[in-house]
Amino acid sequence: MSIFKKLTISAIALLSFMITMPSYSQPTDVDKLFRTTDLMKLIGIKDPVNLQAQLLDPNASTRRIEDLNNFIVRGVVAPSYDTVTTEFDSALRIIHKRRDDSTWVGVQMFQQKEIPTLSLQDGMTAVRACMQGKGKNDMPEEITGVVIYKSLINSGNIIYDYIFKKVQSDGNSVCQEYLYVPNTQECFQGMAVACHIDVPESVTTAP
HEC string of the chain equals: CCHHHHHHHHHHHHHHHHHHCCCCCCCCCHHHHHHHCCCHHHHCCCCCCEEEEECCCCCCCECCHHHCCEEEEEEEECCCCEEEEEEECCCCCEEEEEEECCCCCCEECCCHHHCCCCCHHHHHHHHHHHHHHCCCCCCCCEEEEEEEEEECCCCCCEEEEEEEEEECCCCCEEEEEEEEECCCCEEEEEEEECCCCCCCCCCCCCC
pLDDT for residue 69 = 97
Print pLDDT tens along the chain (207 aa). Answer: 554 444 444 444 444 433 333 334 589 999 999 999 999 999 999 999 999 999 999 999 999 999 999 999 999 998 888 999 999 999 999 999 999 988 878 899 999 999 999 999 999 999 999 999 999 999 999 999 999 999 988 778 999 999 999 988 787 889 999 999 999 999 999 999 999 999 986 544 444
pTM tops 0.75, yes or no: yes
Cα–Cα distance measured from residue 66 to residue 91, given in angstroms and rounded to the nearest whole number: 14
Cα-based distances in Å from 5 to 8, 9, 103, 161: 5, 6, 68, 58
Per-domain residue ranges of the chain: 30-193
- Burial label, 50 (beta-carbon count in 10 A; 0-12, 13-18, 19+): buried
Contact 181, 159 (CB under 8 A): yes
Question: For residue 16, what pLDDT is reported?
Answer: 42
pLDDT of residue 202: 56
Q: What is the pLDDT of residue 13?
A: 45
Is the CA virtual torsion 153, 115, 103, 68 positive or negative? negative
Q: Measured between alpha carbons, how far is 85 from 1 in angstroms, rounded to an integer?
A: 62
CB-CB contact of 104 with 74 (8 Å) = yes
- Residue 167 confidence (pLDDT): 83
